[in-house]
């Protein structure tokens, strides 16, 4: 019998994974269901990405890369950030990982002390809370209500910040509520955060391309350039390119930068 660490005690099985499993079971019984569980796209990974990934494998690119990602990939990411998000970052200012969740876990692991508070804007992606709990942090929930279109309000942010607040996690656009922030919304949050230098900002922008009705995406750090030094922008290819199960970011991003 394997003994689990008590660090895992507060963590419950993932509700979204349970919903998707229940939906699959219902489907296999012939029921017509809409799965609102795991965040899968409704299209397949684009063909050119699959081909590029296969070509890279066949060319022998299957060995350990540098820990922070190959230079070619980091250059491609820097190009993408400049082109799409108006964010100027040198290739040494970010790292490549196996998904957004890994980046978030690593960032929290590297910075949280026991009891440090992490602000979460509810409703939020459930695994933020699990990550904080596993690492001995204290998740602090700020309710974001439908009347405000599920956007965090500056006044609520002010009231939630304490001397122990280490991070706020923003999710732009937000999952599961679909909240979209205007430039002014982000600027107002930035004004509050500017007064609290102990708080770092994690801006999870994984769903940046899931926008409708001509809405444009703006990155938190692009709007609040004065906070860039304490903002960690998290991004990835799982949602935009329907690649939740394969790690071919290199192929896609290198292709885009050419």
- Name the site residues for ligand PLP (rule: CB under 6 A): 39, 99-101, 125, 171, 175, 204, 206, 236, 238, 244
Contacts of 186 (CB under 8 A, 6+ apart): 172, 218, 220, 223, 224
Q: How far is the CB of 53 from ligand PLP (least distance, A)?
A: 16
**Closer Cβ to ligand PLP, 116 or 204, answer by number:** 204
39 vs 154, beta carbon nearer ligand PLP: 39
Q: Tell me how far, at minimum, the Cβ of 72 lies from ligand PLP, in Å.
A: 20
DSSP assignment of 69-125 equals --HHHHHHHHHHHHHHH-----GGG----SSHHHHHHHHHHHHPPTT-EEEEEES--
In the complex, least distance from residue 76 CB atom to ligand PLP, rounded to whole angstroms: 17
Nearer to ligand PLP, 109 or 159 (CB): 109
8 Å CB contact between 84 and 132:
no
Instruction: Find all residues with CB under 8 Å of 208, minimum gap 6, and list them.
Output: 84, 85, 172, 173, 217, 219, 235, 240
> Shortest distance, CB of residue 29 to ligand PLP, whole angstroms?
26
Distance CA 61, CA 72 (A): 13
Q: What is the largest CA-CA distance in the chain?
A: 56
CB 137 within 8 A of CB 108: yes
> Of 125 and 227, which has the nearer Cβ to ligand PLP?
125
Shortest Å distance, C-beta 100 to ligand PLP: 3
The CA distance from 196 to 191, in Å, is 10
C-beta closer to ligand PLP: residue 11 or 191: 11
Q: Which residue is nearest to ligand PLP (CB)?
A: 99
Cβ proximity to ligand PLP: between 171 and 219 the closer is 171
Instruction: Give the shortest CB-236-to-ligand PLP separation in angstroms.
Output: 4
């Amino acid at each position: 019998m394997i003994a689990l660490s008590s660090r895992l005690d507060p963590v419950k099985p993932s509700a979204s994974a349970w919903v998707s499993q229940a939906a699959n079971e219902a489907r296999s019984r012939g029921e017509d269901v809409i799965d609102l569980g795991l965040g899968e796209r409704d299209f397949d990974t684009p063909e050119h990405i699959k081909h590029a990934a296969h070509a890279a494998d066949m060319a022998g690119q299957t060995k350990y890369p540098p820990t922070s990602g190959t230079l070619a990939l980091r250059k491609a990411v820097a190009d993408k950030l400049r082109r799409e998000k108006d964010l100027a970052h040198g290739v040494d200012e970010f790292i490549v990982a196996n998904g957004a969740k890994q980046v978030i876990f690593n960032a929290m692991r590297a910075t949280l002390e026991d009891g440090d508070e992490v602000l979460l804007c509810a409703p939020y992606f459930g695994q933020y809370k699990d990550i904080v709990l596993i690492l001995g942090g204290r998740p602090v929930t700020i309710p974001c209500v439908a009347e405000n279109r599920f956007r965090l309000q500056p006044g609520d942010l002010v009231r939630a910040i304490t001397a122990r607040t280490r991070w706020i996690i923003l999710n732009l656009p937000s999952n599961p509520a679909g909240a979209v922030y205007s430039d002014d919304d982000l600027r107002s949050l930035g004004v509050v955060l500017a007064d609290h230098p102990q708080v770092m900002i994690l801006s999870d922008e994984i769903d940046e391309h899931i926008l409708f009705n001509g809405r444009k995406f703006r990155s938190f750090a692009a709007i609040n350039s004065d906070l860039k030094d304490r903002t960690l922008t998290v991004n990835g290819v799982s949602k935009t390119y329907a690649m939740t199960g394969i790690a071919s970011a290199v192929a896609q991003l290198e292709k885009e930068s050419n």
